[in-house]
Amino acid sequence: SLVGQAGWGLESGPARGDLRAIARMQNKSLLRIGADDLMGLATEEETFLRLTELGEDVLQAVYRLAWGPLVRRWGKPRNRQGRDVRFAVLAAGKFGGREMDFGSDLDLFFVYEGDGKTRRGVPNSVFFTEFSQRLIALLAEGGLYSVDARLRPEGASAPMAISLVGYRRYLAQRAATWERMALSRARQVAGDAEFGSRVLRSIERFVYSREVDAALVAQMQEMRQRMEPQGKRQTRINIKRGPGGIVDIEFVAQVLVLKWGYRDRDLHVGSTRLALQLLVEQGYLDSERGHFLLDAYEYLRAVEKGMRLASERASDALPTGRELEILSRALGAKDVASFQDEVEIWMRQTRRIFSTVFAELTD
């Protein structure tokens, strides 16, 4: 890809100029993806996949930009036997599921192979924490992507990177139940691929370590409730976090993947759309419900994409005024009122299915 090509050989030039080059390539790619989408030359699924691949290209280019100077400054991280220590960047959320939208963040967490020191005596923990922070800072500095790293062990107050031994210990002893659902979409996106596979095997054992029981389902329902807009934020339709929004569909897919993925490895997928298709095909989800959720997911993601393209402000709530009129026309509605009615109909039925599925899982 053009972005990937722009990233090669970046170590020799000044970081700011290299970031500008990556940003130019990213903007060109975004224009192509947006034009193809608007002209109907790409499906929703193809657009989201291309946006995800662009995110990977940019991340890997900036990874190379951040790595070289730190190695020159501190030396390569090595273990106690003198071997190079490997590192993996892992994705979750829509980036992990290959379903990124325009303006999406990168959900990332960072794992390194083990303890030791660099040639200049810097502990590996310090090196990889600094590298992770530098990577995030360069992505932000270049105006490329915001990074959400809250999924890392122990949350926002914890070090940015963790050793594999420490991560396995965390998964076994302290990881919250809801993290099983969040990590079901994890995949490696930068760093050493073989080591990334080792990390993912540990994650897979944690995610599918036991069957889904009524207590876990209740915890998921409670978490979903906490995600819903409260107070004044309820005055506008929130197509992502509101009742019957995109998150409802993601929760249904993920809870059923956890329930049946315990014994069916074919369900170990990160994409919400693919998960729903497989759940229907394998008989784990009623066909009528499953096909409705697939249609609702496509419709609501199209609304979300239209909102992202129509406004520079990142919001999950339907816009107002002129922006709402433009969005309504772009999505084929005859007027604003009929568009809002259509959105509400999709979301009401989605919430009914969500409530029914979760109620059945607690019986």
Quote the number of domains for the chain. 2
Rounded to the nearest 5°, which phi and psi values hold at 118?
Answer: -80, 175
The residue that leads in pLDDT, 185 or 231, is: 185
What pTM was estimated for this model as a whole? 0.90
Pair (179, 268) in one structural domain: no
Pair (107, 144) in one structural domain: yes
pLDDT of residue 313: 62
Q: Which of 191, 207, 223 is the last residue of a domain?
A: 207
Whichever domain contains 275, its CATH number is 1.20.120.330
pLDDT of residue 271: 96
Mean pLDDT across 116-135: 96
Pair (153, 261) in one structural domain: no
Question: Is 75 exposed, middle or buried, given 0-12, 13-18 or 19+ CB atoms closer than 10 A?
Answer: middle
Q: Above 70 in pLDDT, residue 251? A: yes
The residue that leads in pLDDT, 4 or 334, is: 334
pLDDT of residue 342: 96
Q: From CA 40, how far away is CA 38, in angstroms rounded? A: 5
pLDDT of residue 216: 86
Pair (277, 348) in one structural domain: yes
Q: Which of 192, 207, 222 is the last residue of a domain?
A: 207
Rounded to the nearest 5°, which phi and psi values hold at 109?
Answer: -145, 165
Whichever domain contains 27, its CATH number is 3.30.460.10
Q: Render pLDDT for 139-178 as a digit per residue (tens, 0 to 9).
A: 998 899 999 998 888 877 788 999 999 999 999 999 988 8
Q: Render pLDDT for 265-288 as a digit per residue (tens, 0 to 9).
A: 999 999 999 999 999 999 999 999
CA proximity to 339, closest of 302, 311, 314? 302
Q: How confident is the model at residue 210 (pLDDT cuts 50, 70, 90)?
A: confident
Q: From CA 48, how far away is CA 95, in angstroms rounded? A: 10
Q: Which residues constitute the domain of residue 201?
A: 2-207
pLDDT of residue 71: 95
pLDDT of residue 171: 95
Pair (152, 280) in one structural domain: no
Looking at every residue in the chain, the average pLDDT score rounds to 91
Rounded to the nearest 5°, which phi and psi values hold at 254?
Answer: -70, -40
Q: Above 80 in pLDDT, residue 247? A: yes
DSSP letter string, 264-294: -GGG----HHHHHHHHHHTTSS-HHHHHHHH
Q: How confident is the model at residue 252 (pLDDT cuts 50, 70, 90)?
A: very high
Q: Above 90 in pLDDT, residue 201? A: yes
Tokens found for residue 278: 């497989």
Rounded to the nearest 5°, which phi and psi values hold at 208?
Answer: -110, 30
Mean pLDDT across 74-97: 96
Amino acid at 154: E
Mean pLDDT across 7-32: 75
Pair (113, 24) in one structural domain: yes
Q: How confident is the model at residue 1 (pLDDT cuts 50, 70, 90)?
A: very low
Report the sign of the C-alpha dihedral through residues 42, 48, 54, 56, in that order. Answer: negative
pLDDT of residue 304: 94
Report the sign of the C-alpha dihedral through residues 136, 4, 192, 68, in that order. Answer: negative
Pair (248, 186) in one structural domain: no
Residue 80 makes CB contacts below 8 A (sequence gap 6+) with 115, 116
Q: Above 60 in pLDDT, residue 361? A: yes
Q: Above 60 in pLDDT, residue 293? A: yes
Helix (H/G/I), strand (E/B), else coil: 110:
strand
Pair (95, 219) in one structural domain: no
Q: How confident is the model at residue 9 (pLDDT cuts 50, 70, 90)?
A: very low
Q: How distant, in Å, are the alpha carbons of 236, 244, 350, 354 from that of 252?
A: 24, 11, 10, 6
Pair (335, 188) in one structural domain: no
Compute and round to an integer the Cα radius of gyration of the chain.
22
Biggest CA–CA distance in the chain, Å, is 69
Pair (42, 184) in one structural domain: yes
Pair (104, 52) in one structural domain: yes
H or E segment at 112? strand 106-112
Q: For 15-68, what is the HEC assignment?
A: HHHHHHHHHHHHHHHHHHHHHHHHCCCCCHHHHHHHHHHHHHHHHHHHHHHHHH
Q: Which of 152, 180, 207 is the last residue of a domain?
A: 207
Q: How confident is the model at residue 231 (pLDDT cuts 50, 70, 90)?
A: low
Q: From CA 241, how far away is CA 347, in angstroms rounded? A: 11
Pair (312, 348) in one structural domain: yes
Q: How confident is the model at residue 294 (pLDDT cuts 50, 70, 90)?
A: very high
